[in-house]
Amino acid sequence: MTMRIGSLLKGVALLAIGAAFTPLKATPEEASLNRATAPSSSGSVAGWTEFLDGLRDLPERILARLPAEQRDDPQIQQEVGRLALSAVASATIDALTADPDHPVFTPQINNFITIGQPNADTNYRSAKITPGGTYRLRGRRGSMNMVRIAEGGPRPPQVEGQVNLGGIRPIHDLNGLSVDPAGRYDVILSPFKPEGYTGEWWQLDPTTNMLLVRMVGSHWGEEVEPTLSIERLDVPASRPRPPARILEEKLRAIPTFANFIAPLLVDRVEKLRADGIVNKLRAADMSQLGGLKGQFYYEGAYDLKEDEALIVEAPLPEICVYRSLILTNDIYETTDWYNNHSSLNGAQAPADKDGILRIVVSAQDPGVPNWLDTAGYPTGAIQGRWTDCSSQPVPTVRKVALKDVRKSLPEDTPTIGNEERDRQTRDRRAALQQRPLW
């Protein structure tokens, strides 16, 4: 998938490169060949010019939501360009694959498509469906800690200055399905249970137009990912040639979606700063942002010098299906967790003997197990989540000098040397690359 996304982004970049490149003068033979093969002046692809024009000012639209010092920062400008490409890549994948009558689960967000601030442990996939249709999912259930399929509905009207992706909708638990001796599941989704059907069935909201799968792992490299297929049962199995009208609609929809999603959360970190939530945490309401039912979120901005660290502390809930702590940059992209020690979940970050979970956030490695690497971002956000836990504490945060980290932790805190940390980072990268994204 990394290669596919990379190729897609490269293709988008080549559009700009081609526009700026001035070719060498063609030989007479080449000019004759070009005239013979060039399309006639009357031929064009309807919607293509509008597609290009609709994306022309996307980076400027994103930058406009940031404070002046960030808008003028060449580093952040290029990161905004990356975010814009992420939005275009996501919309392009949708344009190429989405067919509600013949759906397929495709990548939603990840370490390379960073819109929406993905969770490091979650493999997201989505499929567009037709409201009121009857669908069948089947595959092998695997052994992931959590596999939830959320229904998505029509986007509600947007109000200037507010973010609203719609309230929490029905969610289905893949791990709750029965399986055969080979571990295979088979379930039908529809607004009404088919007459005479006695197998597994999930009721669909009649307005649902998308399914979003979250496959959440904690023990990377040990859990087995589920397999997923989807088909609509109340239409013919074969898929005829898509008409030109539909292809044009999809092309025109790319800039519409990219211009909506790319700037959506880009100022969230700045808003935390404006509210004074710097090097501290508060509960975060994600109910209108596609948050997962049963999941409690907390977040805050961080601001650290090279010789400083934050110690995040919370009593560990007695019961907890899943927990994590991740970092983002200033434009709310999740910090690259493939190549940095910048996310921790319940299997990776144990609590201390006193039942307190302690995690150190810093630019330099403090040599302790529970460390989050800011990875070159002196400012950004910390976000955590408790999923189906018996309590939802908002952690406290202490800023200390990096040299004082060890004296601020329990005496029996283990030491992680440079070689061990290097091995950990390489092992986590290998485990993540081996998780299928498509």
Q: Is 408 left (phi over 0), alpha (psi -120 to 50) or beta?
A: alpha
pLDDT bin (cut points 50, 70, 90) of residue 14 is very low
Residue 45 DSSP SS3? coil
Question: Is residue 41 scored above 60 in pLDDT?
Answer: no
Which two three-digit tokens encode residue 239?
A: 């898929």
Least confident among 28-37, 118-127, 155-164, 404-413 = 28-37
The closest of 366, 369, 367 to 352, measured between CA atoms, is 369
Residue showing tokens 């009121």: 132
Q: What average pLDDT does the structure give for the chain?
A: 89
Residues in Cβ contact with 276 at an 8 Å cutoff, skipping those fewer than 6 apart: none
pLDDT in tens, 45-56: 999 999 999 999
φ, ψ of residue 366 in degrees (nearest 5) = -85, 0
pLDDT in tens, 320-337: 999 999 999 999 999 999
pLDDT bin (cut points 50, 70, 90) of residue 287 is confident
pLDDT of residue 26: 46
Question: Is residue 146 scored above 60 in pLDDT?
Answer: yes
- pLDDT above 90 coverage of the chain, percent: 82
Contact of 392 with 386, CB cutoff 8 Å: yes
For the whole model, what pTM was predicted? 0.86
The closest of 369, 435, 438 to 216, measured between CA atoms, is 435
pLDDT of residue 155: 77
Taking the CA atoms of the chain, what radius of gyration do you get in angstroms? 24
The closest of 309, 375, 295 to 342, measured between CA atoms, is 375
Question: Is residue 261 scored above 50 in pLDDT?
Answer: yes
